[in-house]
Structure 1
Amino acid sequence: MEMRIIRAGQLTTVQDLGRCGLRAAGVPLSGAMDPFALRIANALVGNSELAAALEFTLVGPEIEFTAEARVALTGVECDGFAAWKPVVVPAGARVNLSRCVRGCHGYLAIAGGVEVPLVLRSRSTYLRGGFGGWQGRALRDGDVLPIGAAAAIEGTALAGVTGWRIDPRILPAYSAKATVRTLPGAQGEEFGGALFEREFTVAPQSDRMGLRLLGPKLERSNTADLLSMAAAPGTIQVPPDGQPLALMADAQTIGGYPQVAHVISVDLPVLAQLRPGDTVRFAPVTLAEAHRLAQAREHAVAMLREGLAEKLGAHPQP
């Protein structure tokens, strides 16, 4: 099966969960900005969590399928298309996700996954490097992408697939006025508690590399130069202008700016769904609490996958 891109939308790329284990070689993680949303989208259509899907930003694509397709939209809400549930699309029908009314990064998973070639063990697109995904670039009008073979789903399950959606209590605390929890950065003490006392606004210059945050200037007590150190998605750096930069999926692997904090993994999806003009506050947590929250998230996802196995009449691939 194939899908044809009628209108590409805004920064629509092929993404999976990224290139894990290659940061020491200077290769960024890439992959989904909101990995939780991608995992759930794949689960809803019976895919492996490692399957590739489409990610778009604020404006989604219009797509035509050559055969009947089982799809799921997560991360954002779009006019005229149900989110966080599986949907069956007839052969020749079009899915139009052009107007997103909530959220920033949307994910459209298709049963069978987007079958682009693996590059360094991943199908994700790294735009700055020009590799992975579909020809190393964002999708364009007229592109035709291959879809893999989908796991069989019982016909009775498909017949009732439009009548339910997942419990919203499993979702991260998505909000246009978000609170995001953090662990201390290497230079965290040099900024006092300033990060936690202020509200920051997401700047329009934000991208897949990082969110630029605007607010009162953060000032470091120690002005000595720093050696470059490892950086990762979730690291909050403070450039010389004092406006924090929260690194995201395409973040560099090393950097020389002071690190004030690190966003915990369960709150990275909240950060990823902030739009320009949205606001965020930061709150400190302990490492033990971060571990507890991560374990609770994984337990909830595992329970969802088991529930989907009963609902769809087939076990989603691990």
Structure 2
Amino acid sequence: MSALIVKACGPATSIQDRGRFGYQRFGVSPAGAMDRFHLAAANLFVAAEAGAAALELGPGGARLTAEGDITVALAGPACTLEVDGRQVAPFTAVRVADGGTVVARPAPGAAYAYLGVEGGIATAPDMGSRSMHRRSGIGGEPLAVGARIPATPGGREAVLLCLPELPRGETGPIRILPGPQDDHFGAEALAILTSAGYRLSGQADRMGVRLDGPTLPHRGGYNIVSDGIVDGSIQVPGDGRPIVLLRDRQTTGGYPKIATIISADIGRFAQIPPGEPVRFEIVTFEQAIEAARRLQAMIEGLASALVPLAAPLTSERLLGLNLIGGVTSATEAIGV
């Protein structure tokens, strides 16, 4: 069975699939890829299902060595991939020979990239998912030097694939729905959230990120009876500084949540690097549903957009081609 061996990796590197569902009532976080669109893209290049497990790369990326021949592909809004020191375009599958070196990382302008591995990563599932949840240890221990990342046997496609036109996702402000506890804040709080400038602070991980900017005033106390939290909940503790909760979030919390990022924009928000600005915009429930449908349609449309990668122009390939379309005389052509 082919595999990748970790030679070096940043602390945010982990194995993630679409997520772990059905266990939140027991306090188990869903985890899963921060950006499901680029997870799907990376997987489809290597003959894996859209929601299969891939390598999620944060700052620092990873350096890996192939054990056996293996196909990989990198996807992300900004990322770089090198195979044996040679630059490989993102959104392109590449065959790595046994012993070859793979270096992959997100580039400036993005927080995460995804390395799809032949057929999908084949680590043992934990509660129906291969996603790693760092705080609980569910899904396996954090990746370290020497870790072996196995590929799924027989998952490689015969033809390497690429995406000739890079996907164009949504742009503009991050869209939110008010609540579920927006009534715990002063009337001006939502206006501040949507009109003031916020930046992502350095206090960020897969669980959530604190925003730097104006504080949001509570109406009365800031404690509530603990209730459910979802991906994208914007929780406001006693200091008034909002916290956006992400894939590794807790399942319940006792601070009021002024708003929730719509599901279609969670991946976009997660890709904003620390220190960068973010703006929010209130939308209707119907607009949120339509945005989710568009994102799902984009993911489903990826497979039909892939095309075979053109073979490189090697000497052997050139000798095997008919490059002569006819013969003429130069002297006859000019009437000599």
Same fold by TM-score greater than 0.5: yes
Kept after mapping to 2: 8 A contact 1:185/1:259 = yes
Kept after mapping to 2: 8 A contact 1:55/1:108 = yes
- 109-118 vs 77-86, which deviates more? 77-86
In structure 2, do the counterparts of structure 1 residues 297 and 50 end up closer, same or farther at CA, with 3 Å as the change threshold?
A: closer
Give, as a single letter, the amino acid of the residue that structure 2 aligns with 1:21.
Answer: G
Kept after mapping to 2: 8 A contact 1:187/1:258 = yes
Residues of 2 paired with 1:250 and 1:122: CA distance?
14
Give, as a single letter, the amino acid of the residue that structure 1 aligns with 2:90.
Answer: A
Alignment size in residue pairs: 298
- Where structure 1 has 5 or more consecutive residues not aligned to the other structure, the ranges are 313-318
Match in the other structure for 1:316: none
SS in 2 for 1:205: strand
Alignment of 1:125-164 (within 5 A): 125-132=132-139, 136-154=140-158, 157-158=159-160, 161=161, 164=162
SS in 2 for 1:97: strand
Residues of 1 paired with 2:52 and 2:190: CA distance?
42
Q: CA deviation at 1:64?
A: 0.9
Residues of 1 paired with 2:122 and 2:49: CA distance?
13
* From 64, 73, 78, the counterpart of 2:80: 78
Give, as a single letter, the amino acid of the residue that structure 2 aligns with 1:184.
Answer: P
Residues of 1 paired with 2:190 and 2:143: CA distance?
44
In structure 2, do the counterparts of structure 1 residues 228 and 90 end up closer, same or farther at CA, with 3 Å as the change threshold?
A: same
Kept after mapping to 2: 8 A contact 1:228/1:256 = yes
Normalised by the size of structure 2, how large is the TM-score? 0.83
Match in the other structure for 1:315: none
In structure 2, do the counterparts of structure 1 residues 72 and 152 end up closer, same or farther at CA, with 3 Å as the change threshold?
A: closer
* From 218, 227, 230, the counterpart of 1:229: 227
Q: CA deviation at 1:113?
A: 1.6
Alignment of 1:191-210 (within 5 A): 191-210=189-208
- 294-303 vs 257-266, which deviates more? 294-303
SS in 2 for 1:233: coil
Q: Does 1:90 align with 2:101?
A: no
Q: Does 1:106 align with 2:108?
A: no
Match in the other structure for 2:282: 284
In structure 2, do the counterparts of structure 1 residues 99 and 121 end up closer, same or farther at CA, with 3 Å as the change threshold?
A: closer
Residues of 2 paired with 1:152 and 1:140: CA distance?
26
Q: CA RMSD in A?
A: 2.0
Kept after mapping to 2: 8 A contact 1:209/1:249 = yes
Match in the other structure for 1:44: 45
Match in the other structure for 2:313: none
Kept after mapping to 1: 8 A contact 2:200/2:274 = yes
Kept after mapping to 1: 8 A contact 2:71/2:156 = no
Match in the other structure for 1:12: 13
Give, as a single letter, the amino acid of the residue that structure 2 aligns with 1:259.
Answer: K
What stretches of structure 1 move > 4 A for 4+ residues in a row?
Answer: none
Residues of 2 paired with 1:38 and 1:109: CA distance?
8
Residues of 1 paired with 2:62 and 2:100: CA distance?
14
Normalised by the size of structure 1, how large is the TM-score? 0.87
Give, as a single letter, the amino acid of the residue that structure 2 aligns with 1:146.
Answer: P
Q: CA deviation at 1:98?
A: 5.2
- Where structure 2 has 5 or more consecutive residues not aligned to the other structure, the ranges are 82-86, 310-336
* From 236, 239, 242, the counterpart of 1:241: 239
* From 171, 175, 178, the counterpart of 1:181: 175
Residues of 2 paired with 1:225 and 1:152: CA distance?
52
- Percent identity, aligned pairs only, is 33
Q: CA deviation at 1:290?
A: 0.8
SS in 1 for 2:175: strand
Kept after mapping to 2: 8 A contact 1:78/1:102 = no
Q: CA deviation at 1:210?
A: 0.2
Q: CA deviation at 1:144?
A: 2.0
